[in-house]
């Protein structure tokens, strides 16, 4: 066998097995299968790299599940015989997962797959901008592995698979991500759609790394260096002073099926397109909460918790309500169709009040009360306030919808700046948002219809992040940074020890990479 053919077979084996979730486009697969790498273009591989990362954050994807169901903002209760799934959902919320947990393991593998797809672009003579975009995607996938698991396998050269990937841990991984982003910012585009890696996307990711740097050094007792907080503030000011973003007047425009046009906040998003049949399972956000008799007919599953719901003022627009949009149903009664669904639910075409399925005579009215195990057949269809943050795209009939998934957005940048000021950074004036944490927070609250706060401290800021960023994959990270993740909340007792501040490394990865070690407490 020639070296050329051997190399092709190794690439195939590595892509399909070592990184089990890698999504390579059909053109790339066909070229490999015909032993032809000469015609592989970096631009085609870059599309594959973009496609490889977004699905894990959408619907009940693996990263979404491990960063959201593990917190105080969401629960996936077992409803009679439904949603038990061998205890996987209960284990996430109750913090009783182990090293064999399917979603924990799959999240790790998916992000390694995304790292491989991005690194693979660099092997095929990309243009400088293509290389910068690929390195951004690689840094983003590595960031999520760092955040969840602390150990990041890394391979720069994909040509020699006999060389075991190195492992970057904690602040070493954070430093590498910082160095990568710093190196590519100048080459990334300054303008273009939010679903393309860009300068401000790299700056927003840098802000995340600097803000959490102390947690990556010591998750059980994070400290926050003033120098790191000042970097967060400086990066925020660069994004603010670019004058590319403003807070949306209508909160749900940020997440709508045409949010690529309507959102003035999106800094970086994952592209979803029904016509191109490309993207992640954004429709799953509606299916996983909707009752069987609603449109769409859903799976009657996930909810928020009453304590979290009660953090909102009644006037807060982030609670949701009637949202008219081109891809919506007629909704003649102007019923709540986005945000938090509570109380009686209606047919959004006829305005008829909906009933449950069992008992069929009972009004379908969602309650705040919810338990991790709902065995009562008379109530299990009603319990829990449901959450629709991405307005459902009724204009498309297939599984793929048009709402781009938002990873980094302007309100998050402002809240990170406010937090950095509270943690010892030096406040600066940037735009119209103020030089103090209080002014920044109140500028957001005013836009969202909430009354101004008289004061703001870290506890108040964490609550505000919850109200603004709910179900966007940031809550677990926030709770760890604020020292709250191990505490008790609804349907979860306090954790014993600190092992749950990290997820376990999948045993399949430990078996193939001796540079990985199992995280403490999972042996």
- How far apart are alpha carbons 485 and 488 in whole angstroms? 8
The Cα 157–Cα 408 span in angstroms is 29
Q: Which segments of 44-194 are extended strands (E)? A: 78-79, 151-154, 166-169
Tell whether 29 and 151 lie within a shared domain: yes
Angle at 156 between CA 129 and CA 228, to 5 degrees: 75
For residues 260 and 194, the answer to whether their CB atoms sit within 8 Å is: yes
* Gap between the Cα atoms of 178 and 143, Å rounded: 10
CATH of the domain at 443: 1.25.40.900
How many angstroms separate the CA atoms of 255 and 286, rounded? 13
137 close to 270: Cβ distance less than 8 angstroms:
no
**Is 73 within a domain?**
no
Distance between alpha carbon 201 and the CA centroid of its chain, in Å?
15
DSSP 100: T
**pLDDT per position as a tens digit, 427-455:** 887 767 888 999 999 999 999 999 999 99
Q: What mean pLDDT comes out for the span 181-189?
A: 98
Examine residue 495 and state whether it is found in any structural domain, yes or no: no
For residue 192, pLDDT beyond 80: yes
Q: Is 273 exposed, middle or buried, given 0-12, 13-18 or 19+ CB atoms closer than 10 A? A: middle
**Domain final position from 402, 422, 442:** 402
Q: Are residues 325 and 442 in the same domain?
A: no
Phi, psi torsion values for 346, nearest 5 degrees: -130, 155
Task: Decide if 222 contacts 236 (C-beta within 8 A).
Answer: no
- 39 shares its domain with 185: yes
- My answer on whether 341 and 484 are in the same domain is no
Per-residue confidence (pLDDT) for residue 481, from 0 to 100? 98
Q: Is the pLDDT of residue 197 over 60?
A: yes
CB atoms within 10 A of CB 460: 16
State the pLDDT confidence band at 7, using cuts at 50, 70 and 90. Answer: very low
97 and 104 in contact (C-beta within 8 Å)?
A: yes
Name the token pair of 402. 């048009």
How would residue 4 be classed by pLDDT, with cut points 50, 70 and 90?
A: very low
In a domain? residue 80: no
User: For residues 410 and 101, what is the distance between their CA atoms, to the nearest angstrom?
Assistant: 34
pLDDT for the residue 12: 36
Q: Are 286 and 192 within one domain?
A: no
Per the prediction, the chain carries an average pLDDT of 92
My answer on whether 62 and 135 are in the same domain is yes
E strand map for 335-411: 338-341, 343-344, 365-366, 373-374, 386-388, 405-409
In this structure, are 431 and 476 located in the same domain? yes
pLDDT score at 33: 36
Radius of gyration of the chain (CA): 23
The percentage of residues in the chain with a pLDDT greater than 90, rounded to a whole number, is 88
Q: What is the pLDDT of residue 38?
A: 58
Same domain, residue pair 145 and 2: yes
pLDDT on residue 161:
75
> Which CATH number does the domain housing residue 160 bear?
1.25.40.390
Give me the pLDDT at residue 162, please. Answer: 80
What is residue 398's predicted lDDT score, i.e. its pLDDT?
Answer: 86
Give percent above pLDDT 70 in the chain: 92
Per-residue pLDDT, averaged over 135-148, amounts to 98
139 belongs to a structural domain: yes
Express each pLDDT in 92-129 by its tens digit: 999 999 999 999 999 999 999 999 999 999 999 999 99
Q: Is 501 within 8 Å of 521 (Cβ atoms)?
A: no
pLDDT at 275 over 50: yes
Tokens at 430, concatenated: 């940037």
188 with 225, same domain?
A: no
**What domain range is 347 assigned to?**
251-267+276-402
Q: Label residue 37 by pLDDT band (50, 70, 90).
A: low
Confidence band of 232 (pLDDT split at 50, 70, 90): very high
- The first and second tokens of residue 288, run together, are 């996983």
- Give a yes or no: residue 84 inside a domain: no
Q: What is the pLDDT of residues 337-387, one digit of tens each?
A: 999 999 999 999 999 999 999 999 999 999 999 999 999 999 999 999 999
Torsion angle of alpha carbons 73, 78, 80, 86, nearest 10°? 170
- The structural domain count of the chain equals 3
Helix (H) or strand (E) holding 270: strand 266-270
pLDDT at position 434 is 84
pLDDT > 70? residue 229 = yes
Asked if 56 and 141 sit in the same domain, the reply is: yes
CA distance 121 to 34: 19
239 and 131 co-located in one domain: no
pLDDT of residue 427: 85
Shared domain for 352 and 449, answered yes or no, is no
**Is 202 contained in some domain?**
no
Coil, strand, or helix at residue 240? Answer: helix
Q: Which segment of 7-11, 143-147, 276-280, 514-518 scores lowest on mean pLDDT? A: 7-11
Residues 6+ apart with CB under 8 A from 136: 181, 184, 188, 197, 201, 202, 205
**Among candidate residues 300, 304, 220, 302, the one with its CA nearest the CA of residue 489:** 304
Say how far apart CA 150 and CA 160 lie, in whole Å: 25
Last residue of a domain, one of 377, 402, 427: 402
Domain membership of residue 497 (yes or no) is no
Distance, C-alpha 2 to centroid of its chain: 44
Query: What was the pLDDT predicted at 360?
Result: 95
Distances (CA, A) of 167 to 231, 306, 517: 26, 41, 9
**Residue 80 burial (C-beta neighbours within 10 Å; 0-12, 13-18, 19+):** middle
For residues 133-147, average pLDDT: 98
Residue 301 belongs to some domain of the structure: yes
- Report pLDDT for 21: 36
Residue position matching structure tokens 């490889």: 52
Of 32 and 244, which is predicted with more confidence? Answer: 244
Gap between the Cα atoms of 102 and 84, Å rounded: 13
């Amino acid at each position: 066998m020639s070296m050329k053919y051997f190399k092709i077979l190794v690439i195939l084996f590595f892509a399909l097995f070592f990184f089990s979730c890698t999504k390579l486009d059909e053109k790339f697969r066909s070229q490999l299968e015909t032993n032809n790498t000469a015609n592989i273009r970096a631009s085609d591989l870059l599309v594959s790299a973009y496609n490889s990362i977004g699905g894990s954050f959408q619907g009940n994807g693996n990263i979404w599940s491990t960063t959201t169901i593990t917190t105080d903002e969401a629960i996936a209760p077992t409803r009679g015989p439904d949603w038990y799934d061998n205890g996987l959902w209960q284990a996430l919320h109750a913090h009783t997962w182990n090293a064999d947990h399917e979603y924990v393991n799959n999240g790790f593998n998916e992000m390694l797959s995304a790292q491989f797809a991005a690194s693979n672009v660099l092997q095929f003579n990309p243009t400088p901008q293509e290389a910068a975009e690929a390195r951004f995607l690689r840094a983003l996938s590595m960031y999520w592995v760092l955040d969840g698991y602390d150990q990041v396998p890394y391979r720069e050269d994909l040509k020699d698979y006999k060389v075991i990937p190195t492992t970057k841990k904690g602040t070493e991984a954070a430093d590498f991500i910082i160095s990568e982003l710093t190196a590519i910012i100048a080459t990334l585009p300054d303008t273009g759609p939010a679903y393309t890696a860009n300068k401000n996307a790299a700056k927003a990711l840098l802000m995340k790394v600097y803000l959490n740097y102390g947690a990556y050094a010591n998750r059980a007792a994070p400290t926050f260096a003033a120098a790191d907080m000042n970097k967060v503030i400086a990066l925020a000011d660069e994004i603010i002073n670019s004058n590319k973003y403003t807070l949306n007047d209508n909160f749900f425009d940020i997440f709508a099926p045409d949010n690529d046009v309507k959102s003035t906040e999106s800094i970086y998003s994952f592209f979803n397109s029904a016509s191109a049949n490309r993207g992640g399972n954004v429709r799953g956000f509606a299916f996983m909460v909707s009752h069987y008799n609603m449109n769409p007919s859903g799976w009657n599953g996930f909810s928020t918790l009453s304590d979290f719901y009660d953090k909102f003022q009644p006037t807060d627009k982030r609670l949701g309500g009637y949202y008219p949009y081109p891809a919506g149903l007629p909704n003649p009664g102007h019923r709540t169709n986005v945000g938090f669904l509570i109380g009686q639910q209606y047919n959004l075409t006829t305005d008829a009040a909906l009933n449950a399925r069992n008992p069929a005579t009972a009004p379908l009215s969602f309650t705040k009360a919810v338990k991790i195990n709902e065995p009562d057949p008379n109530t299990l269809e009603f319990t829990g306030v449901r959450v629709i943050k991405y307005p459902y795209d009724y204009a498309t009939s297939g599984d793929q919808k048009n709402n781009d998934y938002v990873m980094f957005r302007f309100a998050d940048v402002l809240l990170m700046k406010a937090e950095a000021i509270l943690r010892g950074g030096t406040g600066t004036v940037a735009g119209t948002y103020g030089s103090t944490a209080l002014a920044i927070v109140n500028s957001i609250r005013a836009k969202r219809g909430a009354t101004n706060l008289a004061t703001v401290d870290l506890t108040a800021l964490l609550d505000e992040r919850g109200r603004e960023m709910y179900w966007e994959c940031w809550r677990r990270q926030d709770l760890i940074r604020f020292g709250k993740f191990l505490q008790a909340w609804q349907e979860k007792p306090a954790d014993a020890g600190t092992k749950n501040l990290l997820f376990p490394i999948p045993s399949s990865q430990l078996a193939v990479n001796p540079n990985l070690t199992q995280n403490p407490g999972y042996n």
